[in-house]
Amino acid sequence: MCGIVGYVGRQAAAPLLLQGLARLEYRGYDSAGVALLDGSGFCVYKEAGRLSVLAARMNGGEGLPQTVGIGHTRWATHGAPTARNAHPHLSDNGHWAVVHNGIIENEAVLRRTLREAGVVLRSDTDSELIAQLLQREDDGDVPSTLRRVTAQLEGSFALGVLYTAQPERVYAVRCQSPLVIGVADEGVFLASDIPAVLPYTQRCVMLQDGDVACLTAEGYTVYGADGEPLQRPLQETAWEAEQAERGAYAHFMLKEIHEQPEAVAATLLPHLQEGRVTPEVLPLTAAQAVALKRVVLVGCGSAYHAGMVGAQVMERLARVPCVAEVASEYRYRQPVTDGDTLVVCISQSGETADTLAALREAKRLGARVMAVANVEGSTLAAESEAVLLTRAGPEIAVATTKAYAAQLAALYLLAVRLGVMRGTVTPAEEQRLTAELRRLPSLIRGLLKTAPQMHALAKRLPPLTDAYFIGRGIDHAAALEASLKLKEISYIHSEAYAAGELKHGTISLMESGTFVAALACDKALLTKTLANVREVRARGAWVLLLTAETVEEAADEVLTIPAAEPLFQASLSIVPLQLLGYYTALERGCDIDHPRNLAKSVTVE
């Protein structure tokens, strides 16, 4: 949520800041702004709405010579999305400029204190308070001033800061909200996420909680809580700049749907050797694996849906109780856990606030914790005992596709490996399952050929105000993700149900023209699901059926997907339904890559 960029170097900052903000648009925003600094002070531009409005006002940065600046895209939490509330915010004396991601939870107390001190606040945001506090605490030593101010803040925050007395420096602070430093030949960059700096460098520093950093044209220095310099080494990211470009595709989402075979292969293949899943997938001893009494998979949104699939696969293969938990609920319900529980936290960014909170609660309770994440240097990866990396590359569209596919692949690896370690998966069965895993990328690639069929279907569906997705077992878990894809980008109300629950209320909503997508990819449950399809069709529903079996006259539209290992079918059935969601949104004229009110990386609760 929100995006921060900063630059200090030898080139004009404005075009670089605007380009960096454009590469962070996927994070979601409703206003944008830039502050440029030189010896004469700040030059500030702020606009509500799309970044293009700000870029037009600034003429793309042309003719602005300043070589130091910070920029921001805001997703409103305090105050309406207006130019007045957009970042950067200036201190009352004009000496400080601040951009802020996160939420200051003691905002009301700080606001009252500043007003009582006579400070005139010009916005409704919690972020402006930081600029005013910097003015109050200013002693000329910027790292020291920043530490004193941040000690007064409760909540999560990442800050980019400029100070007129030091016009050749950009300062940064991280507390539970991601920040990256990128070191390039033309200068040093600050950003909320790696894609913003990829066109200029692959050399990055992932700041850690409590870090205060000073960026200059020559390099960077990171200070700890005691004010002493810390070693935060440069890391070479494997992500390429081209991965964050749309190329010939109309939208990032469509591009990323088509990148799923590569994302799944990159996640699976390094861990499949000679018919086995490599041991580093799950760094437990055999005794620890056997002693496990419970596995909990924790995530938000699509990561939670991946966990729901993974829980069923893991329970069947490893024969250990396994559940998926919504991260935002996990720590508040006083979970019962101990050292014989494995908690696996799933997050594309590795910075999801609720998932991090769940991880910390699980650690406090003594559970074994590991992460499934797409960013190697992320907070989730750093705070876990072990991490299984997904190799999806940067994902730009707000609606996840390839990252979800890679998460499923990672969870399959975990399930097979845990089953082997617990003795519930035989060597012969491991050989068979790994062979099936190797097939997944090519099977997914084949399903991408359903794009014309899904586009045609999106054009001839009855007018939709509601949609329902049903399935049993793993198909139900997959249906939840398919429903989410449709609703978040097309704005059509959509729900997913376990098919057996229809008669417990939901069937009352079925009428002529109601759209139902039925997933029936598990042969063992096919007959039961087809019975549910007949029930909704008898009440006028228009049904799309996805199945790996041959059925006749079972639905208005039948899409046959390849037969594969039933435990892994969720990786296949989702592909045409992602395409259906995409093309439905396209036909409705929706902003597919930037759906309203949504943000890619949810770094606040």
Q: Which residues are catalytic?
A: 2, 600
CA gap 216, 226 in Å, rounded: 21
* Partners of residue 297 on adjacent β-strands: 324, 344
Q: What phi and psi values does residue 52 have, to the nearest 5 degrees?
A: -60, -30
Yes or no: say if 70 and 162 are a contact pair by the CB < 8 Å rule. yes
What pairing do the DSSP bridges indicate for beta strands 294-299 and 341-347?
A: parallel
- 36: Cβ–Cβ under 8 A, 6 or more apart, which residues? 13, 14, 42, 43, 44, 64, 66, 68, 69
Q: By the 8 A CB rule, do 87 and 33 touch?
A: yes
Angstrom distance (rounded) from CA 593 to CA 255: 11
CB atoms within 10 A of CB 461: 20
The DSSP code sequence of 64-90 is ----EEEEEEE--SSS-SSTTTSSPEE
Amino acid type, 461: L
C-beta separation of 160 from 6 below 8 A: yes
Two structure tokens written together for 125: 């945001």
By CB atoms closer than 10 A (0-12, 13-18, 19+), residue 285 is exposed
Instruction: Report d(CA 107, CA 111) in Å as an integer.
Output: 6
Q: Give helix 474-490 / helix 570-587 axis angle, nearest 10°.
A: 20
Q: 């070589």: which residue's tokens?
A: 67
C-alpha–C-alpha distance, residues 537 and 554, integer Å: 9
Question: For 109-112, which contacts have Cβ atoms below 8 Å and span 24 or more sequence positions?
Answer: 110/152, 110/153
Q: How far is it, in rounded angstroms, from Cα 92 to Cα 111?
A: 14
How far is Cα 10 from Cα 196, in angstroms, rounded to an integer? 18
CA distance 135 to 164: 12
- Distance, in Å, from the CA atom of 77 to the CA atom of 2, rounded to the nearest integer, reads 10
What does the alpha-carbon distance between residue 284 and residue 287 come to, in Å, rounded to a whole number? 8
Task: Write out the E strands in 164-278.
Answer: 170-175, 180-184, 187-191, 203-206, 212-216, 219-223, 229-230, 235-236, 272-273, 276-277
Q: Is 481 left (phi over 0), alpha (psi -120 to 50) or beta?
A: alpha
Whose tokens are 């099936």? That residue is 436
Q: What share of the chain is helix, strand, coil (3-state, %, to 5)?
A: 40, 25, 35
